[in-house]
Structure 1
């Protein structure tokens, strides 16, 4: 019979949860599980740990507070630098893509403005950013996970993309929306 590796452990939040103790020597697993180590001594600050459920709940609240503060900072930045409202389809607005694009625009422009390497290009960056009002452009070109993290972009790449985007936007013909006739939207002859 093998010595078990999973034991019920009590945490400082008061919950008990099964925990894999296979990384602990077999002779000490049972003793560790029965001790108050996870409730009083474990954790990064040696004051105990909370269970996974409580940890996830705390993280969720922290993330919501972080996003609320980020949107407040975004709005203040937009007002301070007179940035236009971003536009998008109804679906983009309802899905939160426009809010995400606003956060992307804020964090990218803030990185450029705070960089000492681009002091002389700050006005160019803001002027170019004001012409890019389609929310999808910001998420497609400078979305946080998809573009900036994956490609390891920094202020230099941000500036290059914004200036290029503004140049492309200036060359683009104003779009005329053509309402196509739907061949399936007909009534049968009576």
Structure 2
């Protein structure tokens, strides 16, 4: 007699569901059915996951607000110009610029061998780049690549030649 392929599993949530286990080898079906019984059914699992999305979204919104506040304060303190681009990209660009610049400072100056005068030159170059999209594109760049990336930026990434407008 062949091993059954459809198993009625009573899940930990109390619901019973039929599971087609024909894709599993015959000698692994019973163990998998037992494993399934320790889990919520698909409907309950989805309901809980969707409920968690609201909490995750609230956490992410709070995290983004903290990052945005830090980026705004940093930009004011270091005289970084406002970024240009679509409204949707401005906040993301500001956070990306802040994260890359502060990480690069730590890697190149605080932990590295670059002196403050050389860093000031890097800051001056960064002030000329005001296109939010450029900073978003560099968000995954290695911090020690920042000087080369700034040098490679084009006029399309700058709205003005004067960094002190």
TM-score band w.r.t. shorter chain: 0.5 to 0.7
Give 2:106's aligned residue. 114
Give 1:64's aligned residue. 61
Q: 1:26 to 1:72 in 2, by over 3 A?
A: same
Q: 1:71 to 1:122 in 2, by over 3 A?
A: same
The answer (yes or no) to whether the contact 2:9–2:16 under 8 Å persists in 1 is no
The answer (yes or no) to whether the contact 1:112–1:159 under 8 Å persists in 2 is no
> TM-score by structure 2 length?
0.64
Query: Are 1:155 and 2:140 counterparts?
Result: no
Give 2:49's aligned residue. 52
Q: CA deviation at 1:67?
A: 1.1
Give 2:89's aligned residue. 97
The answer (yes or no) to whether the contact 1:9–1:18 under 8 Å persists in 2 is no
Separation of aligned partners in 2, 1:56 and 1:20: 29
Give 1:26's aligned residue. 29
Q: 1:8 to 1:72 in 2, by over 3 A?
A: farther
The answer (yes or no) to whether the contact 2:75–2:81 under 8 Å persists in 1 is yes
Q: CA deviation at 1:85?
A: 0.8
Alignment of 1:117-128 (within 5 A): 117=112, 119-120=114-115, 121-128=118-125
Q: Which residues of structure 2 form unaligned runs of 5+?
A: 41-46
Task: Say how many residue pairs are matched.
Answer: 142
Q: 1:126 to 1:60 in 2, by over 3 A?
A: same
Query: Are 1:164 and 2:159 counterparts?
Result: no
Whose RCO is larger (CA < 8 A, sep 6+)?
2
Separation of aligned partners in 1, 2:16 and 2:60: 25
> TM-score by structure 1 length?
0.57
